[in-house]
Structure 1
Amino acid sequence: MKYGIIGAGAMGYRYGVMLQENAGVEVDFIDTWEPNVEKVREQGGVSVARDHQNRRIVPINIYYPEEYSGHPDVWIIFKKQMQLAEEMERDQAAGIFHEDQYVFSAMNGMGHFEKIAKYFPADHIICGTAMIATRLDGPANVDFMGAEGTEEMHMARYTNEKPNDVMEAVVADFKQAKMNPIFADDYMGMCMSKVVFNAVTNTLCTMFEMQMGQFIEYEGVREMARQLFDEAYDACERAGIYLIATRQEQVDSVITVSQEYKYHYPSMYQDFSKGRPTEVDYINGYIAKIGRQHDYVCRTHEFVTHEVHMAEMMRKYHKNVENVADVQVEPAKAI
């Protein structure tokens, strides 16, 4: 299978490089951020480290949409929720989408599959979630967080049908790439499981500008997580959405995942620190929206959403961080 990555950011680079190096498949990268594209071309590839170690240049093929003439079998999309509609419109205008192609995405938040479905048939869409931490420290400069082999992801078809031959081939490539894919029967329950996890770790780490390891130093984390999870699960159950993890498993995962990625700043903070809008409306805000639609008010999620937007507003009074790696903090204590 040949893959095209739309969005050469933290996760786009992670998937593309691992597919290219571990699975030995052909990968092209499509991006619209000029400093990123030009830096790749200047240095002969993307600069990749894992947990700040062994930084190296990985040669890749990168293009602006308008100059791309390739024909991948599967597109892999990793854009920010706020940028996706404009990106898809530009890619469509550039003529890079074709009727026989499939598309996979494991973006944070919710709302992206409806946008993708405007350009691809429902049965050609593969949904995903990724419990994989990655930092984009600058143009063409990425850091894979976590030891090799700790990557984990879930996949489901947008139609909730059983895997067909194409999806089986994608799963095989992802396994070869060491992404550790797990098949799920219901895409909505699968995706919401990741959304409610991010609604705790991403959001709270962003508001307090902390690494995940620092976050779980606070003894009240389990109680805070349980309050947010209980609201999210109650809202989802009223909407007929059943998550793949139990409430207690979610609470426990906050600790175990934060231990694994203790030096990681979640993607929401990476945007926040650079003065960019966050995806909180597609995470906590999305949970609150589901609740309102089903006569259940998620007061904590609504309040937290406002808090993040207030913190975004306050960035105008502070200097933005160009590179998350420049943030100097004391090492997180062992948990």
Structure 2
Amino acid sequence: MEVSRDHQDKQLVPINIYYPEEYKGHPDVWIIFKKQMQLEKELERDAKAGLFHPDQYAFSAMNGLGHFEKIEKYFDEDKMIAGTAMIATVLNGPGDVDFMGPKNGEAMHMAPYNDKKPDQVMNQFYDDLKAATLGPEMTNNWLGMCMTKVSFNAVCNTLCTMFEINMGQFGEYSGAKDMAKQLFNEAHDACERAGIKMIEDRQQQVQSVLDSCVKLKYHYPSMYQDFSKGRPTEVDYINGYIAKVGRDNDYVCRTHEFVTQEVHLAEQMRQYHQK
């Protein structure tokens, strides 16, 4: 793979890559990153290829929510590690990855899926992530941890996608703070009714968006990258997931419901703007 940071210092990093049917290894931990819409078929294919074994752990820090229910069909929940990742990258092309922001500025959260204390393998995995300068933090509240990241993405990813802008451009808008507040307030209201405790409060989340718009000003979120390449977005697993939490708890997240429809409308309208 070709790896650079902020469009500079591109270097070639050799990696091994396999089709599931070719792979003969037996890792301690599977690291699962797949688009939400593609995950179920990927897991089915991997299982059919005989890749999963009872002693193995699974870690995933995918965007949105809905993937852990799929993963636990193949792994014991005591061996599942939930995660979130604030690692901004732009995929310029096949095998061409551009990291955004200052070096060692990456951050992750992780938690045992059953909210028990991490075991020896989980602690070893944490040490590996730390040694890789990915900035992991361990918590025991996996759902609140994930919903905190989902609500962040529901602001940055979605609004940047709708207006086809990077995070710095969104941060320049005088109303960015108020837009973030509105979306975060709905997300927190829904989570409070569902008994989900976020790991950041509303004010911290708004500030995290404003800070990220400075730190990652050149970054185009992954949802925009999908949208701009004509691929389906994960909005149903981000804003749509927040809206579902609200509906399931007798609370209507009106803005998240509307924004989800707006993104799908924009997806459908691409057919009229193709060159």
Tell me if both proteins adopt one fold, taking TM over 0.5 as the criterion: yes
CA RMSD of aligned residues (A): 0.8
SS at 1:127 equivalent? strand
2:79 is the alignment partner of 1:131: no
Rounded Cα–Cα distance in structure 2 between residues aligned with 1:89 and 1:130: 25
**Alignment match of 2:213 (pick from 258, 267, 285):** 258
- Alignment correspondent of 2:61: 106
Rounded Cα–Cα distance in structure 2 between residues aligned with 1:278 and 1:230: 23
Rounded Cα–Cα distance in structure 2 between residues aligned with 1:234 and 1:64: 43
Q: Deviations over 1:296-316 (max 9, x none)?
A: 000000000000000001111
- Alignment correspondent of 1:181: 136
Q: Deviations over 1:141-189 (max 9, x none)?
A: 1111111111111000000001110001001111100011001111000
- Alignment correspondent of 1:216: 171
Q: Output the TM-score relative to the length of structure 1.
A: 0.81
Rounded Cα–Cα distance in structure 1 between residues aligned with 2:197 and 2:271: 40
- Alignment correspondent of 1:82: 37
How far is the alpha carbon of 1:253 from its aligned partner? 0.7
2:253 is the alignment partner of 1:303: no
Q: Deviations over 1:87-121 (max 9, x none)?
A: 00011111111111111000000000110000000
Q: Deviations over 1:220-275 (max 9, x none)?
A: 01111101100110000000001000100001111101111100100000000011
Q: Which amino acid aligns with 1:149?
A: N
- Alignment correspondent of 1:158: 113
- Alignment correspondent of 1:317: 272
How far is the alpha carbon of 1:318 from its aligned partner? 2.4
How far is the alpha carbon of 1:319 from its aligned partner? 3.4
Count residues in correspondence: 275
Rounded Cα–Cα distance in structure 2 between residues aligned with 1:233 and 1:285: 14
How far is the alpha carbon of 1:56 from its aligned partner? 1.1
Task: Work out the percentage of aligned pairs sharing the same amino acid.
Answer: 67
Rounded Cα–Cα distance in structure 1 between residues aligned with 2:73 and 2:220: 33
- Alignment correspondent of 2:98: 143
Q: Deviations over 1:22-65 (max 9, x none)?
A: xxxxxxxxxxxxxxxxxxxxxxxx11111111111101111011
Rounded Cα–Cα distance in structure 1 between residues aligned with 2:100 and 2:274: 26
Q: Structure 1 runs of 4+ off > 3 angstroms?
A: none
2:230 is the alignment partner of 1:275: yes
**Alignment match of 1:118 (pick from 50, 62, 73):** 73
Q: Which amino acid aligns with 1:119?
A: Y
2:157 is the alignment partner of 1:202: yes
Rounded Cα–Cα distance in structure 2 between residues aligned with 1:275 and 1:61: 28
Q: Which amino acid aligns with 1:304?
A: V
